[in-house]
Amino acid sequence: MTPEWIAADWGTSNVRFWAIGADGTVLGERTSADGMNSLASSEYDAVLTQSCADWLKKAATVVACGMVGSRQGWVEAPYQTTPCAVCPSRMVTAPTLRSGLTVHVIPGIRQTDPADVMRGEETQIAGFLAQNPGWDGVLCLPGTHTKWAHISANEVISFQTFMTGEMFALLAGQSVLRHSIADSGWDDDAFGDAMSQTLARPEGLAARLFSLRAAQLVHNTDTITLRARLSGLLIGAELAAAKPYWLGRNVALIGADAVSAPYITGLASLGVNAACVDAKEMTLAGIKAAHALLETINQ
């Protein structure tokens, strides 16, 4: 195994490394729990060296995306400002102790009005466009902080972030609803009904949230049903607010099946057929695209 370079997806909780051959083939993959939350800026170099020691005997270049470029990361990579290309023409170089090693950090993207930021998702978008040349429409990246991004001519024109995933976790785990929401399980009908309610009347969300607790106390409603209702209420409100993005446009999702499935169901109920691609695959494809652009610039 002779890696030509190393790709890194450095997140808040963990980091994933790939050894990449000269022809772009993935020669190996490793993960570590040393995410941004557990590191000082001076500790990133050691994590990379320890995790990829054998690869670094041959590879002299690393291209990294994600929270590694945040203000609390290895080195701050200033945001690009929309509208902007998904693959940056310039990357920031992180300080390293190893002679001959260069670590390039992909910047995130910001929007000034209304204010919004993304860091890591731009690389997934770049990966999607690398595999779907000329694609024009809206990409939804569901997760803790779901992004809706309008893409045209290989640029991010605008985007909006929704804290739907985090709100679900907080409500289900820390609010009064924690007594009524199951840890797992699903009910398609309950999800669909609840989603329809907030799609039609999103202003009623706060009242309908408390009704979940009341439904268990008054009617002894099953906690799995209530879990699906909570998801439906929140995603319905999000889809109502994101209507300017998905209405009349091509839509695709980038995310894991488990978090993407409710969005696919919700969009389908609105007559929007959205394809879904894997986030991990798009991240790697995006880092490869950034590396290819780096090679072109250096030539």
| Tens digits of residue pLDDT in 239-287 | 999 999 999 999 999 999 999 999 999 999 999 999 999 999 999 999 9
At 87, the pLDDT band (50, 70, 90 cuts) reads: confident
At 190, the pLDDT band (50, 70, 90 cuts) reads: very high
In this predicted structure, what is the pLDDT of residue 296?
A: 65
The two counts, helices (H) then strands (E), for the chain are 9, 15
Q: Do residues 60 and 88 lie in contact, with contact meaning Cβ atoms separated by under 8 Å?
A: no
Asked if pLDDT for residue 235 goes beyond 80, the answer is yes
CATH 3.30.420.310 boundaries in the chain: 120-299
The two tokens of residue 65 are 């995306």
In this predicted structure, what is the pLDDT of residue 170?
A: 97
d(C-alpha 130, C-alpha 135), whole Å = 9
For Cα atoms 77, 83, 88, give the angle at the middle one, nearest 5 degrees.
40
Homologous superfamily (CATH) of 1-111 is 2-keto-3-deoxy-galactonokinase, substrate binding domain (3.30.420.300)
Asked if pLDDT for residue 106 goes beyond 90, the answer is yes
Q: Which strand (E) or helix (H) includes residue 127?
A: helix 121-131
In this predicted structure, what is the pLDDT of residue 104?
A: 96
Asked if pLDDT for residue 299 goes beyond 60, the answer is no
Coil, strand, or helix at residue 139?
A: strand
Asked if pLDDT for residue 298 goes beyond 90, the answer is no
Average pLDDT over residues 56-81: 95
Q: Do residues 239 and 272 lie in contact, with contact meaning Cβ atoms separated by under 8 Å?
A: no
d(C-alpha 78, C-alpha 106), whole Å = 9
Indicate the pairing of strand 109-112 with strand 115-118.
Answer: antiparallel
At 90, the pLDDT band (50, 70, 90 cuts) reads: confident
Asked if pLDDT for residue 35 goes beyond 90, the answer is yes
Q: Which residues contact 273 (CB under 8 A, 6 or more apart)?
A: 267
Q: Do residues 109 and 159 lie in contact, with contact meaning Cβ atoms separated by under 8 Å?
A: yes
Percent of the chain with pLDDT over 90: 95
Asked if pLDDT for residue 79 goes beyond 90, the answer is yes
Residue 151: how many other CB atoms lie within 10 Å = 24
Percent of the chain with pLDDT over 70: 98
CA atoms within 13 A on the CB side of 137: 20
Burial of 73 (0-12, 13-18, 19+ CB in 10 A): buried
Asked if pLDDT for residue 62 goes beyond 80, the answer is yes
Average pLDDT of the residues of the chain? 95
Torsions phi, psi for 121 (to 5 deg): -65, -30
Asked if pLDDT for residue 153 goes beyond 60, the answer is yes
Burial of 206 (0-12, 13-18, 19+ CB in 10 A): exposed
What is the residue type of 57?
K
CATH 3.30.420.300 boundaries in the chain: 1-111
In this predicted structure, what is the pLDDT of residue 297?
A: 62
Asked if pLDDT for residue 151 goes beyond 90, the answer is yes
Average pLDDT over residues 69-83: 95
CATH code, residues 120-299: 3.30.420.310
